[in-house]
Amino acid sequence: PRVKWDVLDRFIKGATEIGIPEVPDFNHSDTECVGYFQVNQTKGVRLSSYRAFVHPIRNERPNLTVVTDVSVGKINFSGARATGVTLTPRHGDDGSSFDVHAEKEVVLSAGSIGSPHLLMLSGIGNAQELASHNIPLLHHLPGVGENLHDHLQIRSVFRLEKPDAFTLNQAASSLFGQAKMGIQYFATRTGPLSMAPSQVGMFTMSSQEHTTPNIQYHVQPLSLDKFGDPLHEYPGMTLSVCNLRPKSRGKISLTSSNPMDPPKIDPNYLHAEEDRKVAADSLRHARMMMTTSPLKDLDPVEVFPGTQYETDAELAQKAGDISASIFHPVGTCKMGLSGDPSAVVDPRLKVIGLEGIRVVDASIMPEIVSGNTNSPTLMIAEKAAQMILEDADQY
């Protein structure tokens, strides 16, 4: 890591104290482990998938054209075959739309929210819902938009009362501190401005009922009431815990037939009783972590959820109050076999019942992976690229 914090090193030491081993690379372990996250970064700057894969070849490939500041209004079809998309400029006086033709395939990679939304706008989805928005039915595929699930992060926050405890809260609390961070970053590409919010992670079990890790920690050397709010004035740290295998399922549905209107997102978090039990146990586990000797030495005081909440029902309720998405939505264009009525794409990621269209993003996951979704999604793309090349002669 390009910056380290004493509070995070203490968390790692606390984990090893209770028997969870520290590892240099989470990819080398499928059991309980703790350590610093690897990040998509180069020389202190975020390395997005665009910067890694597209930018280096953007001006070198005659078969690549990047169009920005447009929205895809719908996928066009001739019968059951996808023939292209309709694009609408996001800015400009006339807002005129134009079509882009696909000679072989349309590859839909709009994500777990955007991909099912665009399919429904194009007449692909549950016939009853499409009819309610006066969208002509092209293909009845009831699984579109269903099976939405996500990793819900439950944010336990602790105030650290040890006099020399130091976190990002103090580092960013003054103009001098902010200037110091800025100078350090621009001079060396290190320091707080080079870090991801969560630098340390841990995989473990929420209770003895589980035999493999079912929760993941994202540990942050900072605290705030909720995302978007200012950092607390006191030294603080956040133990964010998510259920890796949630049972609750939500859905994506239409707001209207207007492509500019965002879809309805119903994550249905904590609907399943099992998820509420894991949430309560996760909060208890975070409390236990703060009693390990390296962390107890910081004199922590629980701010959220608050020590007055003890029962499963109380903790599950508070978990809902202090949680937020960790932005791992999956499942809304589920991969499956043709006999699965909830499946949207087949094992080669082709939309079932149609031709010339695939979905390539996290929406195709039948079930969420037990960890971060970014790298698995990149691997889905790598596998899809191979399959697209293999199938190119079919068109």
The residues that are catalytic are 328
Phi, psi at 132, each rounded to 5°: -65, -15
Phi, psi at 13, each rounded to 5°: -65, -35
Element at 75 (helix H, strand E): strand 70-78
Nearest C-alpha neighbor of 13 from the set 2, 5, 21: 21
Nearest C-alpha neighbor of 243 from the set 279, 284, 289, 197: 279
Residue 312, both tokens: 């499963």
- With tokens 């791992």, the residue in question is 328
Task: Tell me the C-alpha distance between 112 and 329, whole Å.
Answer: 6
Neighbour-count burial of 225, counting CB atoms closer than 10 A to its CB (0-12 exposed, 13-18 middle, 19+ buried): middle
- The answer to whether the beta carbons of residues 323 and 155 sit under 8 Å apart is yes
Residue 270, both tokens: 């904590």
